[in-house]
Amino acid sequence: MTKVLTDARSIRIKGRSFLALVLSPDLPLDDWLVRLDDLASRSAGFFLDRPVVLDVTDLAIDKVQLKDLFEQLAERNVRIMGIEGARPSMLVPGMPPAMKGGKPAADIEVKEREPVAAEAEGVLSEDADHAESQQIRPVTQSLVINEPVRSGQSVIFPEGDVTIVGSVASGAEVIAGGSIHVYGALRGRAMAGSIGNSASRIFCRKLEAELVAIDGIYKMIEDMSPALRGQPVQLWLDGDSIMAATII
């Protein structure tokens, strides 16, 4: 007798990638948590309803310290969806699952990379060969938004550059795998190079951003020269520092 396997009781299971933030703590953890609190207090809602992966690769902590770190993040309403780089013996019941093979979205292949403070990545459940060196294919695609990005809206495009023909309101955010171009005021958050592209830049006609980030390195508007505020500005990465200059 033949049985139909695709009846109404079947369960459909699919693979899918999602954009998540990756937090890579450094020691001492107390100091790192202070810096995290500073980021969260100066950019309200940065971690709100956003999935986060905790990367503890090469972090010299034990099971007790990892459990305490997880609890500290939970108290800050940072939702950890998975832990990367932890030994199986370090994970206790109640913790998120171990993850491996996380890599940037689209066609980008990253076999090995240095940890950064916070970066946006597509999380995929595939094995990665960490013996090979980092290989990144050029980002060539682009997305053009022909209207302002309003408060509460997010534009996420890990495949390439994002151009906003308008302004980015306070409370809005733009995340791009490549560079970000804003032909109006940038008042919200702009995160370029989210897939590990340190050559990405941010351009805007009027800089009033809450937060800018390139390849996981971030800077708040309060940390920038007052002479840059309200001016047409470009920002780029020089080592571990974000540089900025007015556009003439």
Write down the pTM of the prediction.
Answer: 0.57
Considering the chain, what percentage of its residues have pLDDT values greater than 90?
A: 15
Residue 33: in which H helix or E strand, if any? helix 29-42
Which is higher by pLDDT, 80 or 201? 201
Domain boundaries, the chain: 18-123, 141-246
Say which CATH topology domain 18-123 has: Alpha-Beta Plaits (3.30.70)
Residue 75: in which H helix or E strand, if any? helix 63-75
Which is higher by pLDDT, 67 or 43? 67
pLDDT band at 164 (very low <50, low <70, confident <90, very high): very high
**Residue 34, phi-psi category: left (phi > 0), alpha (psi -120 to 50), beta (remainder):** alpha
pLDDT higher than threshold 70 for residue 58: yes
Write out pLDDT tens, residues 120-155: 343 333 333 433 334 444 445 788 989 999 888 888
pLDDT higher than threshold 80 for residue 28: yes
Considering the chain, what percentage of its residues have pLDDT values greater than 70?
A: 73
Give the three-state DSSP class for 96. coil
Beta bridge pairs of residue 213:
191, 218
Mean model confidence pLDDT for the chain? 76
* CATH architecture of the region 141-246: 3 Solenoid (2.160)
Q: Is the peptide bond before 93 cis (omega within 30 degrees of 0)?
A: no
Neighbour order of strands in the sheet with 160-164 = 141-145, 160-164, 180-186, 202-207, 233-238, 241-246
